[in-house]
A and B are shown apart, each in its own frame.
Chain A
Amino acid sequence: MTPAQRCPPLLDVLRQPARMATLDLKNWDLLLRQAGSAGLLSRIAVLADQLGLNAQLPTEVRPHLTAARTLAAKQRQAVRWEARRVARALAKLEGPVLLLKGAAYAIADLPPAAGRLFSDIDILVPRDQLGQTEGALMLAGWHTQKQDAYDQRYYRLWMHELPPMTHIRRGTVLDVHHNLLPETSRIRTHAAPILEAAQALTDPAGLSIPTHTDLVLHSACHLFHEGEWGHGLRDLVDLDAMLREFSAELGFWPNLLARARTLNLGRPLYYALDTCQRWLLTPIPDQIIAECPSPPPTWQRPLMRMLFDAGLASTHLSCQGPLSQLAGLVLYVRGHYLRMPWQLLIPHLLHQVKRSEMETDKESDKKNG
């Protein structure tokens, strides 16, 4: 099954937003559900507005798009506000503080920002300043959520981020990273070049964002190495939007490849470029994909395509094929396999299973009691 066969009409509209003007009500009904489930409804609503299509759309549909734009505008404003709070809390920190992903796109007004929704704010700080960062954030009201000793050890020893920090008043969630991938990951990358090359922002002063190539590489490694497929298609749309715009910059493609080599992120970049091209028809020169450092062996490629296609199709029931559930399980295991070696992974998964059973028991006790 080709990607386009799997996910009409959402994929048609992501490839060619102007197609919105030609959809009938039945297709709109499905599009709104697919896009809502993928976290892309606000993006579609903003694109319709930017293309001046609103007046041509059915009256039944317009209220949904108005609502979705309202939500996106609110989230954008909230992210800006929150980023200023982070900047204020970390003003005394010596090293750079980088905004990552959604927050970076929104603050720097990058192409994926249009209509993008957020669940948390991600920042990257130098590892040696992690303690100071955490202390300063705690003083400003962010605290790590209730977690047992196991979780604390899991995050602090093995992961590339602190346990998520929640603001006690506002409930907003902050993920503090010191690297792009876990310490235990099969691919080792390093954050120093990203921190070094980051560009300082004027507003909010004190924060920086990664360079364009680093933003692409981070997005690629987040999607294709960490394996959070719930937002897979949304993340792929981020990549597509960045590649389309950044590729107009002089020397972007060679710089991207060189950077992937430096950061040891050739493999996820290969997957990102290949998948963007196949799913969203992103204009990427074939030669660039061919020259990508550390590509997967040829025999693995069809298998990986099949898995990623299934992961992206998990967006909505209407996109799923017969093997979706199996592929989802394989991707889940792969995500963990890439995270840590077997001797760590197996005890970790056993612990998760034990805990989820204990929680289920606790819940049913509460209900019966």
Chain B
Amino acid sequence: MKLGDLSLAQLRQRLAANDLALRTGPFVTRMHSTLPLIADGLLRLYADFPLDEGEFNDFHVRVGQPTGIRRWLRPQINFWYDDHSPFKPLPANHAFALLEWGMNWCVAGHAHHYLMLHAAVLEKNGRAVVLPGDPGAGKSTLTAALMLSGWRLLSDEITLIDRDDGMLVGLARPVSLKNASIDVIQRAFPDAVIGAPAHDTHKGTVAHVRPSADSVARVNEKARPAWVIFPRWKQGSAARLSHHSRADAMLHTASHAFNYSLLGGLGFELNAALMDACTCFDFEYSNLDEALQTFAELAA
């Protein structure tokens, strides 16, 4: 059964009863919330995802109102992982963004059976591109654009590398867009489904793009890494790939990973194997169409 098979009323009821377990790639997350923003966001962005009917959940999460007198002064919400809350409360209208951050935190903080890099991953014709990106470099914009032009999304934030075979493992969760890139994507892809924006978060305005149906349907297909590309959006720049040294790429991914040092020697081996399998580039662009053209040629 898919989440989208439920009506909004059914979804709300099941969320309120802690009776909704969502499967995203290898993880099952059981969700508990009575907040309308959570049900709305899930139905809009996760409709193609399967529900899990089993008895085992990888993560138990809840988004709701904190207790205490503050909730009468100003509506706030918080995120609970099982029975503890790792974050500070946020304004109530950030509920869905908080759920997304919380789900990222669940994976990044626990899934040490993978090497986890801070990078996006997409796949085309059996070959995957890893996109590490410094904040503001335009990684998520490019990720959303590639996904909306036929690349299969594995992940927007967390690259999972299987420690047994070095293959890339997908989550296919929504792509998080910030500020101006929300309009950029909506204009370039009028059919893209984008969730309700959360304004004035610590990252500015945040909104999530619904993953393509193909990405969700094929989420369990692992992908073979072929490129590591460092995107950089630069005003007026023509789309251009240029050589990036593997050694530098390895240092960059290692220092931006979620658990590179935690994995010790294995982390090094996996990261080195990734670089061995990949050609590394810097990629400058200002125009999305040109960028997509460059990537289409690369994957051809």
**B-binding residues in A (CB < 8 A):** 24-26, 28-29, 33, 36-37, 58, 60-61, 63-64, 66-68, 70-71, 73-74, 77, 316-317
| Complex CA distance for A24 and B55, rounded to whole angstroms | 9
Whether B261 contacts A74 by the Cβ 8 Å rule is: yes
Whether B82 contacts A37 by the Cβ 8 Å rule is: yes
Chain B at the A interface: SS class: loop
A63-B57 CB under 8 A given contacts A71-B262, A317-B83: no
Which residue on B lies nearest to A41, using beta carbons?
Answer: B110
B111 within 8 A of A: yes
B60 within 8 A of A: yes
B19 within 8 A of A: no
Whether B55 contacts A37 by the Cβ 8 Å rule is: no
Whether B56 contacts A70 by the Cβ 8 Å rule is: no
Whether A36 contacts B82 by the Cβ 8 Å rule is: yes
> A60-B58, A67-B111, A316-B83 known; 14 other A-B pairs, CB under 8 Å?
A25-B54, A26-B56, A29-B55, A29-B56, A29-B57, A33-B60, A36-B82, A37-B82, A60-B56, A67-B113, A70-B113, A74-B261, A317-B82, A317-B83
Whether A28 contacts B56 by the Cβ 8 Å rule is: yes
Q: Mark B101-124, 1 if CB is under 8 A from A, else 0.
A: 000000000111100000000000
With a cutoff of 8 Å between Cβ atoms, the chain B residues found around residue A28 in the complex are 56
With a cutoff of 8 Å between Cβ atoms, the chain A residues found around residue B187 in the complex are none
B264 within 8 A of A: yes
Q: How many A-B residue pairs have CB under 8 A?
A: 52
B263 within 8 A of A: yes
| Complex CA distance for A71 and B261, rounded to whole angstroms | 10
Minimum distance in angstroms from B57 CB to a CB of chain A: 6
From B58, B60, B112, contact of A71 by CB (8 A): B112
| Complex CA distance for A71 and B266, rounded to whole angstroms | 13
Q: Mark B233-271, 1 if CB is under 8 A from A, else 0.
A: 000000000000000000000000000011110100000
Q: Mark B41-72, 1 if CB is under 8 A from A, else 0.
A: 00000000000001111101000000000000
A63-B26 CB under 8 A given contacts A74-B261, A74-B262: yes
| Complex CA distance for A89 and B26, rounded to whole angstroms | 45
Q: Taking each of A26, A58, A70, A317, which has the highest tally of chain B beta carbons within 10 Å of its own beta carbon?
A: A70
Q: Mark B7-50, 1 if CB is under 8 A from A, else 0.
A: 00000000000000000001000000000000000000000000
With a cutoff of 8 Å between Cβ atoms, the chain A residues found around residue B113 in the complex are 63-64, 66-67, 70
Whether A63 contacts B111 by the Cβ 8 Å rule is: yes
| Complex CA distance for A298 and B132, rounded to whole angstroms | 65
Which residue on B lies nearest to A320, using beta carbons?
Answer: B83
A-B contact pairs, 15 of them (CB 8 A): A24-B55, A25-B55, A25-B56, A28-B56, A33-B82, A33-B83, A37-B83, A61-B56, A63-B111, A66-B112, A67-B112, A68-B112, A70-B113, A74-B261, A317-B82
A70-B262 CB under 8 A given contacts A26-B55, A29-B56, A63-B111: yes
A74-B264 CB under 8 A given contacts A29-B57, A64-B58: yes
Which residue on A lies nearest to B30, using beta carbons?
Answer: A29
Which residue on A lies nearest to B163, using beta carbons?
Answer: A66
With a cutoff of 8 Å between Cβ atoms, the chain B residues found around residue A68 in the complex are 112
